[in-house]
Structure 1
Amino acid sequence: MAASSLCTSKLNLSEKERSSSIRRISTKVTNVLVSQPMTKTVAPVAVTSLRETKKPGIKPVLASVWKEIQGADDWEDLMEPLNPLLRDEIVRYGEFVSACYKAFNLEPSSKRYLNCKYGRKNMFAEVGMEKPGYDVVKYIYATPDISIPMQSTACCGRWIGYVAVSNDEETKRLGRRDILVSFRGTVTQSEWIANFMSSLTPARLDPTDARVEVKVESGFLNLYTSDDSTCKFSQGSCRQQLLSEISRMINKYKGEEMSITLAGHSLGSSLATLLGYDLAELGLNRDGTNEIQITVYSFGGPRVGNSEFKKRCEELGVKVLRVVNVNDPVTKLPGVFLNENSRVLGGKFELPWSCSCYAHVGVELALDFFKMKNPTCVHDLDAYIGLLKCPNMEQMNEDGETFNLFRKLMEIFSSQEFVINHVWPWHQAATYVGSLVQSLGI
């Protein structure tokens, strides 16, 4: 027999054997399926409370439980273990904040330097968020009233975030019309200086009631209320822009079920908390007997105000969910020494300096996902979001590399980039300062 015929014979035999095996396996699978009852797919069910979801076979619909997810009951019974619906919502709002970083223009040669790279209509698509269910209705700019001698840019106004509103399709899925405000964190030098202005000052946001006992960090308040009329993108202070646009959206969708969701990272979370307090204090979220729920999703946020500020936020019904990495030093600032833990002696006696003590607002969701081997990641928003998506994520970059924090700081502050007003060395410097704070155990 020729060699070619022999090869063909072997190939044909192999094909027959494979066909026979496939038929035998198919027959066995069919027999198993026939002998076993069909498994029913768990369909979403409209429930009135998330507590009902603990019953087997019940999968909740967000539209029917959104108030609980947004913190109406202060997230009671939803944190440990973290409710899957709540986890999804935290991730979703975190990605809206991440879009701010991706869209922020850090190219000094660009005409839109320190502003958004893209137009409102296509911003989400440009940063990789296809059909997020929201339309951007306004860009927001903030101006720290801080003079920096080496500042080279003509305009002090910075793009800080945006206001968006859910479209009709997303509104149906959510169960309400959601007005979203998203803030980025600290990037520029003046913003870092605003971060370090840790003195408390009366908020005085309600002209009819000053409430001088309600105090907030002066740098955050400065960024929120300052105005730069020379900036071509600015339309008043950050506060004026936000109150005007949110009021417009509330009036536009009057009569619908609504929510106001404020999300931010780092400095952005402070602005979100300030805005939530401001809206509630002025009563802009109330229309007669109807009240629009205000929820803040804070990622890696510092303390914003004193204990009276915390108390007032609670009285006004502002719900704050603080997502923190326990190794993130930013969440321990300001008020390293004067905070909620040093306000009362023995759990009974209020100390004289209690009004000068900082206090966190809201409910904390603590994440512990890094040892202090990679300090550049402990405050990173994408690291926060990544862990929420994958709770069992292993420690990354465990190469054991060590470095001298003081030496690294000196290198940054003496670098040529620092002298010419480049933004990223400040970001790095702050990271190492935070690392130093944590290493000292404060």
Structure 2
Amino acid sequence: MALSTLTNNHFVAAMNHVQPQQNMVLDHPKTNLPNKAKRLAESLSHVLHLHIDPTPRTIHKNLHFINLHHSTPTMSPRENISQKWRQIQGCDDWENMLEPLHPWLRREVVKYGEFAQATYDAFDYDSFSEYCGSCRYNQNKLFQKLGLTRHGYTVTRYLYAMSHVDLPRWLERSRVADTWSKDSNWIGFVAVSDDQETRRIGRRNIVVAWRGTVAPCEWYEDFQSKLEPLGHGGAKVEQGFLSIYKSKSDATRYNKSSASEQVMNEVTNLVKGFREKGEQVSLTITGHSLGGALALLNAYEVAATIVDLPVSVISFGAPRVGNIAFKDELQQMGVKLLRVTVKQDWVPKMPGILFNERFKVFDEITGLEWVYTHYGAQLELDVRSSPYLKGGINLSGFHSLETYLHLIDGHLSCETPFRLEAKRDVALVNKSCDMLVDELRIAQCWYQLANKGLVLNAHGRWVKPKRDPEDVPSHASELCSADLGIVLM
């Protein structure tokens, strides 16, 4: 049976059928490779109906079969989910869709995760670049450059954030004096589904994607653990997250308005425009790590501002954001949150590592406003489930969004082996970490600009090139969709 046609049921049946052979391979007297390598070879042999001997003598032959993945597509045809979109967006808190993981939900979660990953892949990390902290591409080219046009969305606005933190010089982001912005960072974008994708998913969907922590000022804010009041009720949220979301200054170029104001203006305009055309609209907010925290703050604000708009959050490796009152208000507003976590990742356990939602007695104590709590449904993954991933402790690898996306793509249920017919390219896991078993021969931290951004000029000298004019950050070009006439025409 071809790998690309193996269904979930076939896979489970195959795994049950080959269990005796699995034990036989494990008892092979010449087997002395790490367990992960053996499991990888065994699992692939079962799925492909081929015998792969996981011994040092034959491992080079096994790589041939492992590399069969290279000749298969990285995704299967997309299903029409228009009749089930509300359930996929969490109208009933994803009941009966997480265990086992519904394949339609898996595909949508991966899609939103790839939008969140785009905020890392397009970020300019080069401290010697005058544009460090910006997006390397303009919003019209972002999805094309990152290979995400297949999802059927159009970026309508970039988002910028700042922090009111005076940093020591050794923590400053850029080493260049004449930089595009000393205060702001590109923090994400707003996008909207095109007509074809809208028909497939059953409504016009607005997506907001928030980036996780990369800038020093964001690290500093992440280390804060103070709760700050939000609104006029008892809701409180982590001070550092709120600062990044709400900070602004007239002295800056990109944050005369806060990230909050930027995203709210854009989402409000989009919702108004599509509703005037008689369309059904939903909002999905996604983010990883810090981005997941910003996504929840964004959802709270939208739900409190725009009436009858379905608001869902898909977060990855996100920390706790607020207290019990914040959780209660989100629930009353109807915000739906699916928290994707990895069991070995420490970030979702912060802040409130000691006093949190696990202490149920706190729910009954009035006035206890300083206890952090998670909110929403949880999809927990386990690094140990994938035969492609190394064992041992790798904190950055456990928290990497690409590790998350790999595990989601292979997840069926807590009781079922890793889904070997998963389509997503496993090499992506090692983009910024070292998590893949060595037998796959994928270099660690391989994702970077060619020659680290240097090019050979006409005189034969290696230099840092000038950006194309259209990719240079320009406040004048960062207009909302209503200004540009995008989508709403």
CA contact (8 A) 1:344 1:354 kept: no
**Paired AA for residue 176 in structure 1:** R
Residue of 371, 379, 386 corresponding to 1:365: 379
Deviation at 1:293, TM superposition (A): 0.5
Q: What are the within-5 Å matches in structure 2 for residues 176-187 of structure 1?
A: 176-187=203-214
Deviation at 1:184, TM superposition (A): 1.1
CA contact (8 A) 1:374 1:397 kept: no
Alpha-carbon distance between aligned partners in 2 of 1:69 and 1:353, rounded to the nearest angstrom: 36
Seen in structure 2, the aligned counterparts of structure 1 residues 338 and 302 have a Cα distance that, compared at 3 Å, is: same
CA contact (8 A) 1:294 1:318 kept: yes
Give CA deviations for 1:381-413 in whole Å, capped at 9, x if unaligned: 0000011112317995579xxxxxxxxxxxxxx
Deviation at 1:85, TM superposition (A): 0.5
Q: Secondary structure at the match of 1:344?
A: helix
Alpha-carbon distance between aligned partners in 2 of 1:74 and 1:293, rounded to the nearest angstrom: 13
**Paired AA for residue 68 in structure 1:** Q
Alpha-carbon distance between aligned partners in 2 of 1:350 and 1:174, rounded to the nearest angstrom: 41
Residue of 252, 263, 268 corresponding to 1:231: 252
Seen in structure 2, the aligned counterparts of structure 1 residues 235 and 126 have a Cα distance that, compared at 3 Å, is: farther
**Paired AA for residue 190 in structure 1:** C
Alpha-carbon distance between aligned partners in 2 of 1:62 and 1:77, rounded to the nearest angstrom: 16
Alpha-carbon distance between aligned partners in 1 of 2:173 and 2:393, rounded to the nearest angstrom: 36
1:105 aligns with 124
Deviation at 1:156, TM superposition (A): 1.2
Residue of 219, 224, 227 corresponding to 1:200: 227
1:327 aligns with 344
CA contact (8 A) 1:125 1:131 kept: no
Alpha-carbon distance between aligned partners in 2 of 1:250 and 1:364, rounded to the nearest angstrom: 28
1:309 lines up with 2:326 in the alignment: yes
Alpha-carbon distance between aligned partners in 1 of 2:121 and 2:196, rounded to the nearest angstrom: 26
Alpha-carbon distance between aligned partners in 1 of 2:330 and 2:267, rounded to the nearest angstrom: 19
Q: Which aligned segments of 4 or more residues in structure 1 are displaced greater than 6 angstroms?
A: none
CA contact (8 A) 2:132 2:173 kept: no
1:271 aligns with 294
Alpha-carbon distance between aligned partners in 2 of 1:266 and 1:372, rounded to the nearest angstrom: 22
Q: What are the within-5 Å matches in structure 2 for residues 19-418 of structure 1?
A: 61-150=80-169, 151=172, 153=174, 155-204=182-231, 210-211=232-233, 213-254=234-275, 255-282=278-305, 284=306, 286=307, 291-342=308-359, 344=361, 350-351=364-365, 354-370=368-384, 372-391=392-411, 392=418
Segments of 5+ residues of structure 1 without an aligned counterpart are 1-58, 205-209, 400-442
TM-score (ref. length: structure 2): 0.64
Deviation at 1:378, TM superposition (A): 0.6
Alpha-carbon distance between aligned partners in 2 of 1:97 and 1:397, rounded to the nearest angstrom: 22
**Paired AA for residue 393 in structure 2:** K
CA contact (8 A) 2:173 2:215 kept: no
Seen in structure 2, the aligned counterparts of structure 1 residues 396 and 161 have a Cα distance that, compared at 3 Å, is: closer
Deviation at 1:280, TM superposition (A): 1.0
Alpha-carbon distance between aligned partners in 1 of 2:342 and 2:80, rounded to the nearest angstrom: 29
Give CA deviations for 1:319-366 in whole Å, capped at 9, x if unaligned: 000000011100000001121123516xxx734673210010100000
Seen in structure 2, the aligned counterparts of structure 1 residues 380 and 152 have a Cα distance that, compared at 3 Å, is: closer
CA contact (8 A) 1:343 1:353 kept: no
Alpha-carbon distance between aligned partners in 2 of 1:373 and 1:332, rounded to the nearest angstrom: 17
Q: Secondary structure at the match of 1:312?
A: helix
TM-score (ref. length: structure 1): 0.70
Segments of 5+ residues of structure 2 without an aligned counterpart are 1-77, 175-180, 385-390, 412-417, 421-433, 439-489
Deviation at 1:145, TM superposition (A): 1.2
1:30 aligns with none
Report the number of matched residues. Answer: 327
Seen in structure 2, the aligned counterparts of structure 1 residues 398 and 374 have a Cα distance that, compared at 3 Å, is: farther
Alpha-carbon distance between aligned partners in 2 of 1:179 and 1:302, rounded to the nearest angstrom: 24
Alpha-carbon distance between aligned partners in 1 of 2:369 and 2:396, rounded to the nearest angstrom: 34
CA contact (8 A) 2:224 2:240 kept: yes
Give CA deviations for 1:304-328 in whole Å, capped at 9, x if unaligned: 0001100110010000000000111
**Paired AA for residue 242 in structure 1:** V
Seen in structure 2, the aligned counterparts of structure 1 residues 188 and 344 have a Cα distance that, compared at 3 Å, is: same
Give the share of equivalent positions with the same residue, in percent: 39
Deviation at 1:115, TM superposition (A): 0.6
Which structure has more relative contact order (CA 8 Å, sep 6+)? It is: 2
